Structure 1
Amino acid sequence: MDLVQLDIKGISYSQTQTGAYALLLSEIGGSRQLPIVIGAFEAQSIAIALEKDIKPPRPLTHDLFKTFSDSFDITIQKVIIHKLVDGIFYASLICKKGKNEKTIDARTSDAIALALRFKAPIFTYKNILDKAGIQLKTSTSSSQTQSPKSKVETEIKSSFDLKSLSLKDLNKLLEDAVQNEEYEKATQIRDEISKRS
């Protein structure tokens, strides 16, 4: 299976789930994005790793794991997001000590927090990106203006009842959510579309 390398595009606060965040990974050399819902602790750990100037007074769990691994000459070679089941992503850490290589199961958010600390690349399989990726479309028409919200957009804002919407409406909402950087909403819409295919 073909591996696709991903890069971290950003983290945004979830508008619909208290205490949750949406981590957005983008395809290197492509236009697809992979939104993943993560917890507050993992979001903080990833954000601290991204901001090189921030040093917590005491090591976070992922920092402790990095120090521990360095002490025993263990490195993380890469992270692979290898499975998607019912909207939940599964990841593996590919670790190496000397000539020995070991694959370790990990939560995707933890795997990414560790990948940042080890400067390890993040990958997923092409079929996962095909299934769960969000295509960013750039507007080429200069005649586009802000139109009043459609009945479907109003309905989604008030109740967010995705099951009652058509596939065409869901795809439109998905595009709008990505354009507005509402990645957590985009994740829910994407999952509903996946259930129907």
Structure 2
Amino acid sequence: MNKIELEILGLSSSQSQQGSFALVLGETVGNRRLPIIIGMFEAQAIAIEIEKIVPNRPMTHDLFKSFARNFHYTVEEIMISDLKEGVFFAKIVCSDGAGTTEIDARPSDAIAIGLRFNVPIFTNESVLSEAGIVLTDEESEPEIPPTPTGSGGRKKKGSSNEKLKDLSFDRLTSMLEEALKGEDYEKAAKIRDEMNRRN
């Protein structure tokens, strides 16, 4: 079965399910998009890794990475393998150097883990044919609102982003430390983005 490589294009609030997010994947070569509805916590785990925010305590997916590394397992790839009755299925392909093992997982968990191991994400033609959205040349990319960590898309006008502009760099540094201690990753990302803009 031919594998089709995907890349993460963005996360946006789900229009249909409150408290859920749409993870938008796209073909690396092609114009099809694969939106997958995921929960808020999984969206946060993905966004934290995309934004390279280091939490004070390891999250579940970080724990998986530490566990695997300590027992000399690596993750080779993530495969979104099937779609049954509107539910996506995924596999984490692991290796111990001698052989490979496929572990069943939800796509959101598999992708969060795959990001931490910096491995490619794949699917197959049957999944893309059934659930993919084709963008024609005339259509533009859908607007992706900010991710659960507060970045990764277009910024909302007004809101706290403008207030952060008025604060000193030292104040932003202390606020960032407080946000990380309180595990408020959305606020931490906004502060970090403002600090990066000044560098």
Instruction: Tell me, yes or no, whether TM beats 0.5.
Output: yes
Matches of 2:142 and 2:94, distance apart in 1: 37
Gaps of 5+ in 2: 146-199
Instruction: Give deviations 1:73-109, integer Å, cap 9, x for gaps.
Output: 1111011111101111000111001212111111110
Gaps of 5+ in 1: 140-174, 183-197
User: What is the aligned partner in structure 2 of residue 150 from structure 1?
Assistant: none
1:138, CA displacement in angstroms?
Answer: 3.0
User: What is the aligned partner in structure 2 of residue 23 from structure 1?
Assistant: 23
User: What is the aligned partner in structure 2 of residue 46 from structure 1?
Assistant: 46
User: What is the aligned partner in structure 2 of residue 110 from structure 1?
Assistant: 109
Q: TM-score, normalised by structure 1?
A: 0.70
Instruction: Give the paired residue count.
Output: 145
User: What is the aligned partner in structure 2 of residue 10 from structure 1?
Assistant: 10
Matches of 2:15 and 2:82, distance apart in 1: 26
1:180, CA displacement in angstroms?
Answer: 5.6
Matches of 2:135 and 2:59, distance apart in 1: 34
Aligned AA for 2:41? F
1:15, CA displacement in angstroms?
Answer: 2.4
Alpha-carbon distance change, 70 to 87 in structure 1, aligned in 2, over 3 angstroms: same
Could you tell me whether the CA contact under 8 Å between 2:10 and 2:144 is conserved in 1? no
The RMSD of aligned alpha carbons is 1.7
User: What is the aligned partner in structure 2 of residue 80 from structure 1?
Assistant: 79
Instruction: Give deviations 1:141-161, integer Å, cap 9, x for gaps.
Output: xxxxxxxxxxxxxxxxxxxxx
1:40, CA displacement in angstroms?
Answer: 0.5
Could you tell me whether the CA contact under 8 Å between 2:21 and 2:38 is conserved in 1? yes
Could you tell me whether the CA contact under 8 Å between 1:136 and 1:179 is conserved in 2? no
Aligned AA for 1:45? A
Q: Report matched runs for 1:101-180 at 5 Å.
A: 101-139=100-138, 179=142
1:18, CA displacement in angstroms?
Answer: 1.6
Q: Residue 36 in 1 paired to residue 36 in 2?
A: yes
Matches of 2:97 and 2:108, distance apart in 1: 26
Aligned AA for 2:77? K
Alpha-carbon distance change, 22 to 65 in structure 1, aligned in 2, over 3 angstroms: same
Runs of 4+ aligned structure 1 residues displaced above 2 Å come to 178-182
Could you tell me whether the CA contact under 8 Å between 2:24 and 2:34 is conserved in 1? yes
User: What is the aligned partner in structure 2 of residue 71 from structure 1?
Assistant: 70
Secondary structure (helix, strand or coil) at the match of 1:83 reads strand
Identity %: 49
Alpha-carbon distance change, 180 to 98 in structure 1, aligned in 2, over 3 angstroms: closer
Q: TM-score, normalised by structure 2?
A: 0.69
Matches of 2:92 and 2:142, distance apart in 1: 32
Could you tell me whether the CA contact under 8 Å between 1:81 and 1:89 is conserved in 2? yes
Secondary structure (helix, strand or coil) at the match of 1:137 reads coil
